[in-house]
Amino acid sequence: MSNNKKYDVVVIGAGPAGYVSAIRCSQLGLKTACVDNWLDEDGEHRLGGTCLNVGCIPSKALLDSSEHFHQVNQEFADHGITVKNVSLDISQMMARKNNISNQLTSGINALFKANKVDLHTGSGQLKINNQIAVTPLDKSKKSYRLDADNVILATGSNPLNIPVAPIDGDKIVDSTGALSFTEVPKRLGVIGAGVIGLELGSVWSRLGSKVILLEAQEEFLPFADRLVASEALRHFGNQGLDIRLGARVTSSSIGKKQITVSYQDGKEQKRIVVDKLLVSVGRTPHTQNLFAPDVDLIIDESGFIDVDEHCRTNLPGVYAIGDVVRGPMLAHKGSEEGVAVAETIVGNNAHINMDLIPSVVYTVPEIAWAGKTEQALLKEEIPFNSGVFPFAANGRAKAMNADIGQVKVLSHAKTDKILGVHIIGPFASEILQAAVVAMEFEGSAEDLARTIFSHPSLSEALHEAALAVDNRAIHAINRKRK
């Protein structure tokens, strides 16, 4: 293995954490390389990792397409629009999804060239003294070594497998497989009613599949605010999603055409028969073979790399970001960590506010939140006030025929500092960002209440919820304080 090149920074992984970090490092004047080994289903190298290839972007493309199909069939009549003989072309839908991903991954290639980031297509392994062994994807080429003053580990995560439902890529699939069905399954079983299960379950439900989600936990979306989660569960049920809580899958068996899934519901053993089964029980950090055996990198029992608040590992000059470290496995969190590490390397001040990472479930209605939940505030005995405003009282939501859900603002009872904002409703992900900006500047509910919001707009619901914190909502009846 010959010594090839010396870099200021070598990034391993080109997902949202890795490619963003590599670009920012180069912008700051650091000689930067990125090593990446992602291959698509045709064996072609693609940048962007899971998010752009088989995660965030393709799933949102299918969510959008399936919602259009649902609206044509179920909602256009309310607008006085009649459409006859509606048909579904799955192959075209998938082609659109793939085209969107390809455009974005190609865009990263262009960004790398424009920012002078050297791309090495292959698998990278951390050796001692910050050396990176690169095994090229092109089998005809020999392995080589890169030397670096700094190394950033950003290899992402993989879907978690469970022994009771081993993935075969045909009838039992992970999220990648569920993004590539060639036809709508009549019955789709989903193990796990978290973000991925809900989003992909929604896609196929809108397209005509009977979807049953089996969730082992007794509580629905336990990480979300209880008011929002309970309303979401009700709306999903009305949409036809069959969500069964406290359903622990015990086994599965594949027949000639169907899969039988057995699960424990309390003391009772039950089963369902489905045509396809999606396993979406979480993800695990991709740290296998990332470093040589003689490299003393500290990882925990779950495979996460141990880092401090600046994403520094226990090894000098070695950082880790994104899904391989603590915190939520979210693309935007990884990207911001990547930028912060780049700034840290050149000596600039950098900070990631782990308490204000927005979370979104891209269903209809959307669910989005940032900050503390009410149950967390109660547990921590933090005094708070709450303001809630329904989209049913929002003029823009009414005009859009999307008036379900609400906005909830939580503020400190003494200082009025905004502690959390939780939204279920149309474009919740976009409305939330105004609240996140306010929270980042340690704003109060009064700050939002005094801000002028355009009318008619969905974001007025955030304004009214802030007013409701102090019982001053204008377009809803204020709740009496105890």
Task: Express each pLDDT in 28-54 by its tens digit.
Answer: 999 999 999 999 999 999 999 999 999
Cα–Cα distance between 13 and 152 in angstroms, integer?
A: 9
Task: Express each pLDDT in 336-369 by its tens digit.
Answer: 999 999 999 999 999 999 999 999 999 999 999 9
Judged against a pLDDT cut of 60, whether residue 20 lies above it is answered with yes
Identify the active-site residue in 45, 286, 455, 463.
455
422 is catalytic: no
Give the angle 67-176-193 at the CA atoms, nearest 5°: 65
Contact residues for 15 (Cβ-Cβ < 8 A; gap 6+): 48, 49, 50, 51, 52, 154, 155, 156, 322, 323, 331, 334
Task: Express each pLDDT in 192-222 by its tens digit.
Answer: 999 999 999 999 999 999 999 999 999 999 9
Task: Express each pLDDT in 300-323 by its tens digit.
Answer: 999 999 999 999 999 999 999 999
* The model's pTM: 0.96
Give residue 481's pLDDT band: very low, low, confident or very high (50, 70, 90).
Answer: low
Partners of residue 420 on adjacent β-strands: 371, 410
Give residue 479's pLDDT band: very low, low, confident or very high (50, 70, 90).
Answer: confident
Task: Express each pLDDT in 85-135 by its tens digit.
Answer: 999 999 999 999 999 999 999 999 999 999 999 999 999 999 999 999 999
Q: Pull the structure tokens for residue 169.
A: 């890529």
Q: What share of the chain is helix, strand, coil (3-state, %, to 5)?
A: 35, 25, 40
Cα–Cα distance between 165 and 249 in angstroms, integer?
A: 8
Q: Say if domain 365-468 classifies as CATH 3.30.390.30.
A: yes
Which whole number is the average pLDDT over 167-181?
A: 97
CATH of the domain spanning 2-159+284-354? 3.50.50.60
Judged against a pLDDT cut of 50, whether residue 333 lies above it is answered with yes
Query: pLDDT over 90 for what percent of the chain?
Result: 97
Judged against a pLDDT cut of 80, whether residue 448 lies above it is answered with yes
Give residue 7's pLDDT band: very low, low, confident or very high (50, 70, 90).
Answer: very high
Which whole number is the average pLDDT over 260-281?
A: 97
Residue with tokens 């497989």: 177
Judged against a pLDDT cut of 70, whether residue 255 lies above it is answered with yes
Instruction: Select from 3.40.50.150, 3.40.30.10, 3.90.1170.50, 3.50.50.60 the CATH code of 172-281.
Output: 3.50.50.60
Contact residues for 13 (Cβ-Cβ < 8 A; gap 6+): 34, 35, 36, 49, 153, 154, 155, 156, 322
Judged against a pLDDT cut of 50, whether residue 1 lies above it is answered with no
Give the angle 432-437-443 at the CA atoms, nearest 5°: 110
Q: Domain coordinates of the chain in residue numbers?
A: 2-159+284-354, 172-281, 365-468
Contact residues for 238 (Cβ-Cβ < 8 A; gap 6+): none
Equal fold, 2-159+284-354 vs 172-281: yes
DSSP line for 91-125 = HHHHHHHHHHHHHHHHHHHHHHHHTTPEEEEEEEE
